């Protein structure tokens, strides 16, 4: 096997899109998965990453607004009151995560918006959702969240970042 053409993976015998070579379809699938998991494309998906410092982590600066999707997306945040502010009860965790899965599925199936993330704040479990029309997002998720504990509500921002929010009680 001293000759490179004798090697089993010689260039002539290897398919153009062989193992270890990423095709455009592979990149699209990875970008789609990355977007689903993190709500955005990886830095090398279409353009170079900017040479700016990263945004502060929410734990470091709780007054900073959460990352916003590009464009003039409307936002709906579900504020679900917790019986335990630390969300340490397993039964409540399971109920909220099942509810979160139902909301994600409903948004995906309806096509009216996307589910971005969740977080805990001041005794509430928050679900962040975005779409081109906040009213349509509310129409889809409000019936699902109707059995939320008293004090729970939706904060609807019918416009781009900076637009005033409206409270919708559940």
Q: What is the pLDDT of residues 41-93, one digit of tens each?
A: 444 444 443 443 333 333 333 444 455 555 679 999 999 999 887 778 888 88
Which of 7-11, 29-33, 37-41, 115-119 has the highest mean predicted lDDT (pLDDT)? 115-119
Provide the pLDDT for residue 90: 86
**Mean pLDDT, rounded, of the chain:** 73
pLDDT exceeds 80 at position 6 = no
Average pLDDT over residues 118-140: 95
Query: Residue 156: pLDDT band by 50, 70, 90 thresholds?
Result: very high
Superfamily of domain 74-169: Nucleotide cyclase, GGDEF domain (3.30.70.1230)
pTM given for the model: 0.59
Provide the pLDDT for residue 72: 79
Average pLDDT over residues 103-124: 94
10-42: buried (b, 16+ CB within 10 Å) or exposed (e) per residue?
eeeeeeeeeeeeeeeeeeeeebeeeeeeebeee
């Amino acid at each position: 096997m001293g000759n490179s053409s004798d090697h089993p993976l010689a260039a002539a015998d290897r398919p153009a899109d062989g193992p270890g070579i990423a095709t455009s379809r592979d990149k699209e699938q990875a970008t789609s998965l990355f977007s689903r998991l993190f709500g955005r494309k990886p830095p090398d998906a279409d353009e170079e990453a900017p040479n700016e410092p990263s945004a502060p982590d929410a734990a470091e600066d709780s007054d900073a607004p959460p990352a916003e999707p590009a464009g003039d997306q409307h936002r709906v945040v579900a504020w679900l009151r917790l019986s335990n502010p630390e969300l340490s009860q397993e039964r409540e965790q399971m109920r909220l995560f099942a509810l979160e899965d139902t909301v994600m599925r409903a948004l995906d199936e309806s096509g009216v918006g996307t589910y971005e993330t969740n977080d805990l704040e001041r005794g509430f479990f928050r679900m962040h959702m975005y779409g081109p029309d906040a009213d349509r997002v509310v129409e889809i998720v409000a019936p699902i969240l109707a059995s939320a504990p008293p004090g729970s509500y939706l904060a609807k921002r019918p416009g781009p970042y900076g637009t005033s929010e409206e409270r919708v009680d559940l």
